[in-house]
C-alpha cells in the first residue's frame, strides 16, 4: 500500500554506511508527511485542530466520517426503529380509537351527570344553608347549656365558663363535698334530691316583739303562717341559715307562728333494700334472743291461767246445773201451784202469768 504521507525509500544494506544524503532525504520526507496533516491543537495537547478526512469504513476498527454517520447510520437506525415501532403504533392506534369512542360515550354520560350534579349541587347548597343555620342554633344552644351547667368543680364558681355573671338555675357539682348546687339569687344552694327530703312542723306562741323562731329547713324551702295567714318569704320573713326564720316585723304577744320546714336527706344516709333486710333481720334476732325467756315465761303463765279459768268455769257450771229442777220436779211443782191457785179462785190469766213467771225463774236458775 502506498504511503501518501511518508514515501518509501530503499533500505540501506547491512553494514552500509548512512550518508548525509540518505539521512537528509528521510528527514525531508518526514517533514513533508507532517505538513500534509492538520495543525495540532496546541502546545502539550494531543490531536488536530481540524478534522482528518477518512474513507468508508470496512472494518470494526475503522473510523467514519460525519456524512457517513448522518446518512447511512441514521437511515439504518430509522429503518430499524420503524420496523419495531409500526406494530406497536398500530396496536396503540386501535386502542386509542376505542378509547375515543368510549370518551365520546362518556362525554354524553358526563353531560347528563353534570345536569344531575348541578341539581344535586343546588340541593346541597340549600342543605348547606340549612345546616349552617342549624349549626349556629346548636352553637347558641351549647353556649346557653354551658353557661347553666358548669360541671364538676372543687370550689364554688363565681362566674360561668365564659367569664360571665351567674344566672339563677346555674348548676355545678362540688367534688370536695360530693354534692350538687344550684345558684339562687346571690348564693349557691345545695340541690335537694327528689324523694329524699323530710318535713318538720313547729308551732310557737310568740312573745311581744319576738322575731326569731328556731326550726330546721333547707335554705329557701320553708313555709310560715302567722295566726293562720301564710307569709311571703323575703317580704314578711327571711330564711337563709337553715336553723331559724326571722320575721321582718316583730310578732305580738300570743301570736301563733307555725313553721313548716323541708330538709334534704343525703342518699348516703339511706339504706338499700338489702341493707334494710340485713338490719331488720339482725334486730329481730337480737330481740328474739333477748326476750326468748320472757316469751317462754309468758306462755307458761298463760297456760296456767287458762287451766285455772277452765276449772273455775266447770265448777260454776256444775253449781248452776245443781240448782236446776228436773223435768219431773218442774211438772209436779207446776201442778201443785196450779191446783192451789185454782182452789183459791185464781183466774186463768193469773195462772198463766204465775206459770210463766215460775218458768222464767227456773230458766235462769233461781
- pLDDT, one tens digit per residue, over 87-113 is 887 888 888 888 888 888 878 887 787
Query: What are the φ/ψ torsions at residue 265 (nearest 5 degrees)?
Result: -110, 125
**CA dist 224 → 234, 249, 360 (Å):** 12, 13, 70
The residue count of the chain comes to 366
N-term to C-term CA, the chain: 195
- pLDDT, one tens digit per residue, over 290-304 is 666 666 777 888 789
pLDDT at 116: 78
pLDDT at 311: 85
Quickly list DSSP for 119-150: HHHHHHHHHHHHHHHHHHHHHHHHHHHHHHEE
Q: Are 206 and 273 in contact (CB under 8 A)?
A: no
Extract the C-alpha cell encoding 261.
Answer: 320546714
Closest CA to 189 of 146, 167, 220, 148: 220
**Quick one: which H or E segment has residue 202?**
strand 197-205
Q: Tell me which range, 70-79, 179-188, 264-273, is most confidently predicted by mean pLDDT.
A: 179-188
Closest CA to 67 of 55, 76, 59: 55
Tell me 114's DSSP state: H
Q: What is the percentage of the chain residues whose pLDDT exceeds 90?
A: 15
Q: Are 217 and 199 in contact (CB under 8 A)?
A: no
Q: What confidence category does residue 154 fall into, taking pLDDT thresholds of 50, 70 and 90?
A: very high
Quickly list DSSP for 299-365: HHHHHHHHHHHHHHHHHHHHHHHHTSPPHHHHHHHHHHHHHHHHHTT--HHHHHHHHHHHHHHHHTT
- pLDDT, one tens digit per residue, over 321-351 is 666 666 777 777 777 777 666 666 545 455 4
Extract the C-alpha cell encoding 140.
Answer: 347558641
Instruction: Report the distance separating Cα 300 and Cα 60, nearest Å.
Output: 144
Burial class (CB in 10 A: 0-12, 13-18, 19+), 64: middle
Q: Are 354 and 344 in contact (CB under 8 A)?
A: no
Instruction: Report the distance separating Cα 354 and Cα 336, nearest Å.
Output: 12
Is the pTM higher than 0.75? no
Amino acid at each position: 500500500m502506498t504511503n501518501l504521507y511518508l514515501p518509501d525509500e530503499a533500505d540501506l544494506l547491512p553494514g552500509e554506511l548512512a550518508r548525509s544524503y540518505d539521512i537528509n532525504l528521510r528527514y525531508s520526507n518526514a517533514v513533508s508527511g507532517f505538513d500534509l496533516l492538520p495543525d495540532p491543537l496546541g502546545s502539550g495537547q494531543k490531536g488536530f485542530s481540524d478534522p482528518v478526512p477518512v474513507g468508508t469504513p470496512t472494518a470494526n476498527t475503522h473510523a467514519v466520517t460525519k456524512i457517513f454517520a448522518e446518512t447511512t447510520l441514521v437511515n439504518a437506525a430509522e429503518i430499524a426503529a420503524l420496523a419495531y415501532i409500526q406494530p406497536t403504533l398500530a396496536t396503540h392506534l386501535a386502542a386509542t380509537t376505542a378509547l375515543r369512542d368510549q370518551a365520546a360515550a362518556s362525554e354524553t354520560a358526563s353531560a347528563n351527570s353534570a345536569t344531575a350534579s348541578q341539581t344535586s349541587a343546588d340541593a346541597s347548597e340549600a342543605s348547606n344553608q340549612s345546616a349552617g343555620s342549624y349549626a349556629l342554633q346548636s352553637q347558641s344552644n351549647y353556649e346557653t347549656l354551658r353557661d347553666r351547667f358548669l360541671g364538676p368543680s372543687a370550689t364554688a364558681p363565681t362566674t360561668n365558663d365564659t367569664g360571665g355573671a351567674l344566672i339563677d338555675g346555674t348548676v355545678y357539682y362540688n367534688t370536695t363535698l360530693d354534692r350538687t348546687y344550684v345558684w339562687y339569687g346571690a348564693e349557691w344552694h345545695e340541690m335537694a334530691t327528689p324523694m329524699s327530703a323530710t318535713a318538720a312542723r313547729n308551732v310557737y306562741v310568740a312573745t311581744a316583739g319576738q322575731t326569731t323562731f328556731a326550726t330546721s329547713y333547707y335554705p329557701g324551702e320553708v313555709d310560715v303562717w302567722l295566726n293562720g295567714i301564710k307569709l311571703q318569704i323575703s317580704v314578711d320573713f327571711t330564711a337563709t341559715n337553715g336553723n331559724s326564720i326571722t320575721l321582718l316585723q316583730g310578732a305580738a304577744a300570743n301570736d301563733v307562728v307555725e313553721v313548716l320546714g323541708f330538709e334534704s336527706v343525703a342518699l348516703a344516709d339511706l339504706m338499700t333494700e338489702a341493707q334494710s333486710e340485713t338490719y331488720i333481720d339482725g334486730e329481730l334476732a337480737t330481740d328474739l334472743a333477748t326476750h326468748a325467756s320472757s316469751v317462754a315465761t309468758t306462755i307458761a303463765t298463760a297456760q296456767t291461767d287458762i287451766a285455772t279459768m277452765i276449772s273455775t268455769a266447770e265448777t260454776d257450771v256444775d253449781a248452776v246445773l245443781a240448782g236446776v229442777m228436773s223435768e219431773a220436779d218442774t211438772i209436779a211443782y207446776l201442778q201443785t201451784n196450779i191446783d192451789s191457785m185454782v182452789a183459791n179462785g185464781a183466774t186463768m190469766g193469773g195462772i198463766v202469768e204465775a206459770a210463766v213467771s215460775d218458768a222464767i225463774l227456773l230458766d235462769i236458775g233461781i
